[in-house]
Amino acid sequence: MKKFDIPIYYRSPVISVVKNARKITDPRKKDYTPSVLDFGPVKFLIARHFGFCYGVENAIEIAYRSLDENEGKRVFLLSEMIHNPNVNDDLRSRGVRFIREHNGKQLIPWTDLREDDVVIVPAFGTTIEIQEILKQHNIDPYLYDTTCPFVEKVWNRAEILGKKNYTIIVHGKFNHEETIATFSHSNLNSPTIIVRNIEETRVLCDIITGIIPGEKFYEIFEGKYSVGFDINKDLYKVGVVNQTTMLATETQAIADLIKNTMEEKYGNKKIREHYADTSDTLCYATYDNQQATIGLLKGNADLAIIVGGYNSSNTSHIVELCEAKLPAYFISGPDRIISENTISHFDIHSYKEKTSENWLIKNNSKPTEVILTSGASCPDAILDEVLQKIVSFFPEAKSIDDALEPFKIQNPN
């Protein structure tokens, strides 16, 4: 796989040693069991897959290269590069200005742009409409386009299906930048609808089979379907694609439910006329991170720490998996760990940060076991800082060098 040139301060002297050792012992990425970093009174269960993925590293490399190649020019980002505050804040500190917030709020009017400005497209991609706005200002939207290749894969698959007269069902969050971009590109070639989860999909399936009157579609899915969507003909042939950071298992469940519904209505022999298999659009990194999280949860850890941006979709799904089994704390960085008694963390249900007391479980009979992982947009260096802060609460803990020794033996370089 390609290696990217990203700033050295995003690398880590601790987590990277563990990752590199696993690359040697598990080069085919088949083993989802965690690595154990043993400090004596506290052990960290490190996920097999986590942190910067291919798409994120690609985006960061392009963004920093754009700064190097355009000294003296104004450099803009359409919105957040990725959903990580550390990366976005560093780009801001280097003079990059954000045209919009991640929720679509306009910060800089399009009319302020000049022909010699540089505009970076974020990893989520952007809409056809925004690409046209940039072209109207004589700004090339593809010059520094950091759109993730796996997002583009979804767009390409939707285009192929659209040209075969399939309607596209997008599994995603309708207000997320990636889903908005996918909707825009899909809509070029086919009618498109967004479903958030399996519950919304059941409603859609009930409309397809006639259990729910068709006219209810426009009320229930308001704001989530393309202009001119006609339920009398646009639900005859369908295919499912997804926002790449959604739970892979849920996307598959949604696809299976829709396929079964089409079989129920049209019969198994005609299923290929009405349903397109699109399982090949699932992002490998999202899938691997989620499977690695499931691997983490097979043990008996005391708690989980998940690090990432609070508006990161893929990170929130890792939190969702963890909190179903044990106390899970979603933090943006080490500063959210106030003390060994107090932690400030994000609640994915209320979308608010809250404070918890007595979060760090200390056992007299056995070491405290902490799951440590992150989303695809979190630098490993941030995990290093989180790990070291937790270790500081255990005065008898081994040094980092001693804890890393087994991994250095596996990876002598």
- For the annotated catalytic residues, the residue numbers are 178
Token pair 């920093």: residue: 64
> Could you tell me the two tokens for 213?
């009157």
3-class SS at 171? strand
Quote the CA–CA distance of 318 and 243 in Å, as a whole number.
Answer: 15
Q: Tell me the C-alpha to C-alpha distance, in Å, between residue 317 and each of 59, 70, 207, 294, 375.
A: 22, 37, 28, 11, 9
> How many C-alpha atoms does 245 have within 13 Å on its Cβ side?
27
Quote the CA–CA distance of 128 and 147 in Å, as a whole number.
Answer: 13
Q: How many CB atoms lie within 10 A of CB 296?
A: 26
State the greatest distance between any 2 C-alpha atoms of the chain, in Å, as a whole number. 69
Given a contact cutoff of 8 angstroms between Cβ atoms, the answer to whether 176 and 205 are in contact is no
Quote the CA–CA distance of 300 and 159 in Å, as a whole number.
Answer: 45
> Could you tell me the two tokens for 385?
């800082």
Quote the CA–CA distance of 412 and 140 in Å, as a whole number.
Answer: 46
- Pick left, alpha or beta for residue 22 (phi over 0 → left; psi -120 to 50 → alpha; otherwise beta): alpha
Quote the CA–CA distance of 77 and 83 in Å, as a whole number.
Answer: 13
